[in-house]
Structure 1
Amino acid sequence: MVSLGYFLSCEEFGPRELVRQAEQAADAGFERLWISDHYHPWNDVQGQSPFVWSVIGALSEAVDLPVTTAVTCPTVRIHPAVLAQAAATAAVQLNGRFTLGVGSGEALNEHILGDPWPNADVRLEMLEEAVEVIRLLHQGGSRSHRGKHYTVENARIYTLPEQPVPIYVSAFGPKAAQLAGRIGDGFVSVMPDADILRTYREAGGKGPAQGGFKVCHAPTVEDGLKTAHRIWPNEGLPGELAQVLPQPEHFEQASELVTQDMLSLPTGPDPEPYVERVRSFVDAGFDEVYVAQIGPRQDEFFQFWRDKVTPRLG
């Protein structure tokens, strides 16, 4: 049976509100959490971007739910040796209930130190080596690594969980899905795409598949669409724009081309579209499904999900 989680948006909410939402999610019956890892929001209307590792520490004291980063880029902005330490500490704080979700990242977050933003093939190559570095350091002891992209010299992580941190790999296309199958302990996606998931499995991926989507519960479908379009119009951007645009203002400019009817997400008061979206992930073969409510109606959403959606999911 599929496990349902709530998706905490670091782009839209500050750290205290994220912890409050996690507590509400637990009370509403959600079994696990996703949390995004950004330096910038996608646009200024979203308006937040707390440091995810601090928030995870607070979550570990507030709830008993498993947490996955969805997703962390371990390649440019933060060296994988540093992220190895952060992930290990998070796993200790959460008593082993932490999963490091990783992906090849976006220029939006990774350009900030002035490093060049490589093409997709190089980003995947860097991701593979970064995961190698993280796993090496999670073995304990003094470790060194000299690779094409990263150097580690005599580094030791002293605070380690009892078991190595699981690393799930995000994928939007076949190359990334093949990489996820080769190196990942699990798979992460925001599309109910059975073909991509099949590619992951055929490449050797045996771990769980996590999928997630956004919704906007509101008094009417139109109200929900208006809110979603105001806050998250970037959801309608095509192709690789999300990976290559470097600043929130560029996303705002590109999103001027996104009309309200181009957004495809459940909105409004009827539970059935929400149920159908969950089932689309289940039918595609996903093991865990995460839901993010857009906008300020968080309290109403959790009550709606508990009272109207959950009974229909069985």
Structure 2
Amino acid sequence: MTNFGYTLMTEQSGPRALVGYAQRAEELGFDFLQCSDHFSPWLTEQGHAPYAWAVLGAVAQETERIGLMTYVTCPTMRYHPAVVAQQAATLGLLSDGRFTLGLGSGENLNEHTVGAGWPALETRQEMLAEAIDIIRELFGGALVTYRGDHFDIDATRLWDLPEEPVRIAVACAGDRAVEAFASLGDDLIAVEPKAELVDAWNADPDARRIEPGGARAIGQIPICWDPSQERAVERAHREFRWFGGGWNVNSDLPTTAGFAAASQFVRPEDVASSIPCGPDLDAIVAAVGAYWEAGFTDVGLVQVGDDGQERFLAEAAGPLLEKLRAAAPS
């Protein structure tokens, strides 16, 4: 059975609005919430970047059933991994075990904020692997002293821990990342519907806590529903034209000005060719279907633009969920 999520896009909405959207998503029957963790929006037009952990804490108290996860947090630069472990454990308690810690190697856009530079990809992946080791040790509840190549911890313990350790999902874009992290993470995160990533993650002989049939594979897809096709395309172009650069570009640009420059020649029709736009729910179902066909167990929807959220949730989200569940394999 495929689980369907709703994305709390911190880059395009303020904190109070995000909590309200989370409540509505639970009422509508979404299975989980994904929350981005950004210090900056991708583009100035998006206009927001509240603190994801405060938003999730509020959401945990205003919801009862729906799963929560970061999509994703970088535990290596803005945050020390010990701080991420404490944040995640606290959220695990506040949510009564509904929280999954989604981790990744980060984007320059957010991590350059602390003035520590932007390491090469190989170094970022080494840092992430070390950070996951530290988080795992702290989740065990013991007093931890750790000396690594990138991080140190001195006689540190987490004093408030959920009964079951928080699950860790790791973002991977290619074979090298899967090879590095399948033995460290519980679940896979990927932003493209690539069956080879899911197969490689589940086939790794050292993969952790593999469930019958494999680990969770958690994807995400942007959509721009609107009764007006023209308005949907305009909104998607205004706020999501950065998306077409691909993650090799997106991870390295440091500012909204950089993303504006990199996307200045992206046309509305270019965006509409990669993001389903407009009122056609069947077109959205077809786009999402690429994920379950690739073996993904969980797919989160990003409705583009804050100005379209209320109407999407009121008019389209319920019927869309019905169509998705009817089409997805049981």
TM-score bucket of the superposed structures, by smaller chain: over 0.9
Which residue in the other structure is 1:276 paired with? 286
Q: Matched residues in 2 for 1:192 and 1:224: separation?
A: 23
Once the 2 structures are TM-superposed, how far is the Cα of residue 61 of structure 1 from its aligned partner? Answer: 1.0
Corresponding residue to 1:297 among 299, 308, 312? 308
CA distance change for structure 1 residues 261 and 203 in 2, over 3 Å: closer, same or farther? farther
CA distance change for structure 1 residues 133 and 308 in 2, over 3 Å: closer, same or farther? closer
Which residue in the other structure is 2:325 paired with? 313
Once the 2 structures are TM-superposed, how far is the Cα of residue 312 of structure 1 from its aligned partner? Answer: 5.5
Q: Matched residues in 1 for 2:61 and 2:246: separation?
A: 39
Contact 2:285/2:323 (<8 A) preserved: no
CA distance change for structure 1 residues 239 and 169 in 2, over 3 Å: closer, same or farther? closer
CA distance change for structure 1 residues 266 and 300 in 2, over 3 Å: closer, same or farther? same
Contact 2:129/2:181 (<8 A) preserved: no
- Secondary structure at the aligned position of 1:240 is classed as helix
**Higher mean displacement: 256-265 or 240-249:** 256-265
Q: What TM-score results when the alignment is normalised by the length of structure 1?
A: 0.96
- Secondary structure at the aligned position of 2:182 is classed as helix
Q: How do 1:126-275 residues align onto structure 2 when only pairs under 5 Å count?
A: 126-204=127-205, 205=207, 206=210, 207-238=215-246, 240-263=248-271, 264-275=274-285
Letter in 1 for 2:253: L
- Secondary structure at the aligned position of 1:10 is classed as coil
Letter in 2 for 1:58: A
Contact 1:60/1:94 (<8 A) preserved: yes
Once the 2 structures are TM-superposed, how far is the Cα of residue 29 of structure 1 from its aligned partner? Answer: 1.5
Q: What TM-score results when the alignment is normalised by the length of structure 2?
A: 0.92
Identity of counterpart residues, as a percentage?
38
Q: Matched residues in 1 for 2:285 and 2:220: separation?
A: 13
Letter in 2 for 1:282: W
- Secondary structure at the aligned position of 1:61 is classed as helix
5+ long unaligned stretches in structure 2: none
Q: Matched residues in 1 for 2:102 and 2:296: separation?
A: 15
Letter in 2 for 1:119: A
Once the 2 structures are TM-superposed, how far is the Cα of residue 178 of structure 1 from its aligned partner? Answer: 2.1
5+ long unaligned stretches in structure 1: none
CA distance change for structure 1 residues 272 and 91 in 2, over 3 Å: closer, same or farther? same
Q: Matched residues in 2 for 1:123 and 1:248: separation?
A: 22
CA distance change for structure 1 residues 159 and 270 in 2, over 3 Å: closer, same or farther? same
Once the 2 structures are TM-superposed, how far is the Cα of residue 309 of structure 1 from its aligned partner? Answer: 4.8
Letter in 1 for 2:76: T
Deviations 1:106-143 (A, max 9, x none): 01111111112111111111100000001111111311
Once the 2 structures are TM-superposed, how far is the Cα of residue 308 of structure 1 from its aligned partner? Answer: 4.6
- Secondary structure at the aligned position of 2:251 is classed as helix
Q: Matched residues in 2 for 1:4 and 1:308: separation?
A: 10
Once the 2 structures are TM-superposed, how far is the Cα of residue 31 of structure 1 from its aligned partner? Answer: 1.3
Letter in 2 for 1:307: P
Which residue in the other structure is 1:285 paired with? 295
Which residue in the other structure is 1:48 paired with? 48
Q: Matched residues in 1 for 2:55 and 2:126: separation?
A: 29
RMSD: 1.3
Letter in 1 for 2:61: E
Q: Matched residues in 1 for 2:41 and 2:4: separation?
A: 25
Which residue in the other structure is 1:34 paired with? 34
Contact 2:81/2:134 (<8 A) preserved: yes
Letter in 1 for 2:93: V
Contact 2:8/2:18 (<8 A) preserved: yes
Q: How do 1:98-113 residues align onto structure 2 when only pairs under 5 Å count?
A: 98-113=99-114
Contact 1:74/1:130 (<8 A) preserved: yes
Letter in 2 for 1:5: G
